[in-house]
Amino acid sequence: MQIWEQIRFDPEAGAKALVASYSDRLYKLAYRLCSDAALSEDLVLRTLARAVKAQGKFSSEESYFSFLCTILVNLHRDDLRLKAANALVFMEDVPESEDGRPNPGEALAAKSDAEAVRLAVSRLSPILRETVVLRYFGGLSVADIAEALAVPDGTVKFRLSEARRKIREFITQRNGGAAR
C-alpha cells in the first residue's frame, strides 16, 4: 500500500510512514533553501502536515516526492515573502586520502571551491536558486521540477542553464578572470 493510501485509511499510521520515508530528504532540501536548521525543521513539519491534509489531491500517476517538493517550495516562497530571507548554505565533504585522513591541500582546495559555489548560488535569484537546489541536491528530473514549480520543462531547462552560466561567471570573476 502506498503512503497516500495509508493516510486515507489510517491517518496516524500513514503520517508516521510519511515522516519515516521523506523527512530526511525534505530536510536536506529545506536546509539548502533556508540555511537554518530550526527553520528547515519547521518547513519540513509544515510540508508533511500539509501533505497529510492534501492527500486527496494526490494522484498515483505523479511522483509523490515531487508532490512534497511542490508543497515545500511553496511554503518556502511564502516564508521568503514574509521574511525576505535570501541565504543558502551547502554542506561540503572534505576529501580523504587513501589512509582515511583528510589531505590538507585537497581539503583547502575543496573548501575554497565549495565556498565559491556556495557564494555564487547564494547570489542567484530565489527562482534560479530553488531550481538548482531541486535539480542538483534534490535529484529531481527536469519533468519533476517543472511539475513541482508549475512551469513548462523548457522553463526549467532555461533556469538551469542560466544558473550555471551565472555561477560560472561569478567563479571566473572571483578567480581573477581564470576559471579553474
Give yes or no for a contact between 45 and 37, defined as CB atoms under 8 angstroms apart: no
Sign of CA pseudo-dihedral 9, 138, 146, 33: positive
Between 71 and 98, residue with greater pLDDT: 71
Q: Is 109 left (phi over 0), alpha (psi -120 to 50) or beta?
A: alpha
Residue 120 makes CB contacts below 8 A (sequence gap 6+) with 166, 167, 170, 171, 174
Q: What is the mean pLDDT of residues 6-33?
A: 82
- Whether this prediction's pTM lies above 0.75 is answered by no
Reply yes or no on whether the pLDDT at 63 is more than 90: no
Task: Give span(s): CATH 1.10.10.10, the chain.
Answer: 102-180
Q: What is the pLDDT of residues 82-135, one digit of tens each?
A: 654 334 444 444 445 455 555 555 555 545 667 777 788 888 888 898 888 888
Secondary-structure percent of the chain, ordered helix, strand, coil, rounded to 5: 75, 0, 25
Strands (DSSP E) contained in 22-133 are none
Q: Which of 175, 164, 162 is nearest to 115 (CA)?
A: 175
The 10 Å CB-count burial string (b at 16+, else e) for 136-150 is: ebbebebebbbbbbe
Mapped onto helix, strand or coil, the DSSP state of residue 96 is strand
Output the nine-digit C-alpha cell for 74. 511553496
Q: What is the mean pLDDT of residues 61-73?
A: 81
Using only C-alpha atoms, what is the Rg of the chain? 18
Predicted local distance difference test score (pLDDT) of residue 155 = 93
Which CATH number describes the domain made up of 102-180? 1.10.10.10
Q: What is the pLDDT of residues 164-175, one digit of tens each?
A: 899 888 888 877
Neighbours of 156 (CB within 10 A): 23
Query: How is domain 1-87 classified at the CATH fold level?
Result: Rna Polymerase Sigma Factor; Chain: A (1.10.1740)
Mapped onto helix, strand or coil, the DSSP state of residue 102 is strand
